[in-house]
Structure 1
Amino acid sequence: MSDAQDTSHNSGTVSPPNIVVVQADQMAAQALGAYGDEAAKTPNMDALAAEGAVFDRAYCNTPLCSPSRASMMTGQLPSQLGCYDNGDDFPSSVPTFAHHLRNAGYHTALVGRMHFIGADQHHGFEERLTTDVYPADLDMVPDWDLPFDQKLQWYHEASAVFDAGVSKATVQQDFDDEVGFRTIRHLNDRVRANQWAEAHGEEHRPFLMVTSFIHPHDPYEPPREHWDRFGEGEIPDPKHPQVPSVEEDPHSHRLRAMAGFDVRDPEIEDVRNARRAYYAAVSYIDDHVGRIRAHLEELGLAENTVIIVTADHGDMLGEKGLWYKMSPYERSSRVPMIVNGPEHLVPQGRYQTPVSLLDLMPTLMDLGGAPSLETEGSSMLETARREAAGDISPEDRDVIVEYLAEGTVKPQLTIVRGQHKMVICPGDPDQLFDLEADPDEFTNVARSPEYAEVASTLRAELERRYDLDALDAQVRTSQSQRRLVAEALTKGTMRHWDFVPDAETRYVRGDFWSALKYGTIPDASRR
Structure 2
Amino acid sequence: MSDPRPNIVLVMTDQHAARVLGASGDRFAQTPALDALAARGTRFENCYCPSPLCVPSRMAFLTGLEPHVSGVLGNDDYLRSDIPTIAHAMGAAGYECRLIGRMHFYGPDQHHGFASRPIGDIGPSWPGSGAPDIGPLTSARGNRGPELEGSGRGETSYQAYDHAVTDHAEREINDLIRQRDSTGRPFFALVSLFCPHPPYIAQPEDYDSVVQTGVPPVRLPPPAHRHPALAEWAAAGGVDAVSASAIGKSRAAYYALVRMIDRLAGRVLATIADRTDTVAIYTSDHGEALGERGLWWKSTFHEESVKVPLIISGGGFGQAAVDQRVTSLMDLSATLLGLSHARNLPGHTGRDLRDGATWPDQCMSSYYGGLMNIRTTNVRHRMIRQGRYKLCWYDGHDPQLFDLWQDPDELNDIAGQETEILATLTQDVLAGWSPDVIRRTQQVSQARTNLIRDWVARCTPDEPTRWHDPNPERNKLQ
* TM-score past 0.5 threshold: yes
Aligned to 1:404: 368
Aligned to 1:504: none
Distance in 1 separating the partners of 2:44 and 2:330:
14
Alignment of 1:38-57 (within 5 A): 38-57=27-46
Q: Which of 182, 195, 200 is 1:215 aligned to? A: 195
Aligned to 1:371: 343
Distance in 2 separating the partners of 1:127 and 1:418:
40
1:227 aligns with 2:194: no
1:413 corresponds to which letter in structure 2? R
Residues 36, 124 of structure 1: alpha-carbon distance in 2 compared, 3 angstrom cutoff:
same
8 Å CA contact 1:137–1:498 kept in 2: the answer is: no
What SS does the corresponding residue of 1:229 show, helix, strand or coil?
Answer: helix
Aligned to 1:476: 443
8 Å CA contact 1:73–1:360 kept in 2: the answer is: no
8 Å CA contact 2:122–2:466 kept in 1: the answer is: no
Distance in 2 separating the partners of 1:140 and 1:412:
28
Deviations 1:396-417 (A, max 9, x none): 3321110012345330111110
Alignment of 1:57-72 (within 5 A): 57-72=46-61
Aligned to 1:193: 179
Distance in 2 separating the partners of 1:441 and 1:97:
34
8 Å CA contact 2:289–2:297 kept in 1: the answer is: yes
Aligned to 1:436: 405
Distance in 1 separating the partners of 2:369 and 2:282:
26
Aligned to 1:138: 127
Deviations 1:326-351 (A, max 9, x none): 11110000000100115xx2244221
1:37 aligns with 2:4: no
1:207 corresponds to which letter in structure 2? F
Aligned to 2:460: 494
Q: Which of 256, 266, 274 is 2:243 aligned to? A: 266
Aligned to 1:7: none
How far has the Cα of 1:288 moved from its partner? 1.2
Q: Which TM-score applies when normalising by structure 2?
A: 0.89
Structure 2 residues without counterparts, runs of 5 or longer: 131-140, 371-375, 468-478
How far has the Cα of 1:382 moved from its partner? 1.8
Structure 1 residues without counterparts, runs of 5 or longer: 1-11, 142-153, 502-527
Aligned to 1:144: none
8 Å CA contact 1:252–1:322 kept in 2: the answer is: no
Residue correspondences, number:
450
1:13 aligns with 2:28: no
Residues 81, 155 of structure 1: alpha-carbon distance in 2 compared, 3 angstrom cutoff:
farther
Residues 408, 327 of structure 1: alpha-carbon distance in 2 compared, 3 angstrom cutoff:
farther
8 Å CA contact 2:129–2:456 kept in 1: the answer is: no
Residues 18, 447 of structure 1: alpha-carbon distance in 2 compared, 3 angstrom cutoff:
same
What SS does the corresponding residue of 1:15 show, helix, strand or coil?
Answer: coil
Distance in 1 separating the partners of 2:110 and 2:142:
24
Distance in 2 separating the partners of 1:213 and 1:182:
12
- Which structure has the greater CA radius of gyration? 1
Q: Which TM-score applies when normalising by structure 1?
A: 0.81
How far has the Cα of 1:237 moved from its partner? 1.1
Aligned to 1:156: 143
> What is the percentage of aligned positions where both structures have the same residue?
34
1:287 aligns with 2:263: yes
1:435 corresponds to which letter in structure 2? L
How far has the Cα of 1:489 moved from its partner? 4.2
Distance in 1 separating the partners of 2:411 and 2:194:
30
How far has the Cα of 1:140 moved from its partner? 8.8
Distance in 2 separating the partners of 1:84 and 1:498:
25
1:422 aligns with 2:396: no
Alignment of 1:50-199 (within 5 A): 50-139=39-128, 156-167=143-154, 169-194=155-180, 198=182
Distance in 2 separating the partners of 1:427 and 1:438:
25
8 Å CA contact 1:135–1:498 kept in 2: the answer is: no
8 Å CA contact 1:244–1:320 kept in 2: the answer is: no
What SS does the corresponding residue of 1:209 show, helix, strand or coil?
Answer: strand
How far has the Cα of 1:183 moved from its partner? 0.5
Distance in 2 separating the partners of 1:408 and 1:333:
21
Deviations 1:107-165 (A, max 9, x none): 11111100001110000111101121211112299xxxxxxxxxxxx992224422111
How far has the Cα of 1:477 moved from its partner? 1.9
What SS does the corresponding residue of 1:253 show, helix, strand or coil?
Answer: helix
Aligned to 1:508: none
Aligned to 1:346: 317
Aligned to 2:309: 336
Distance in 2 separating the partners of 1:282 and 1:399:
27
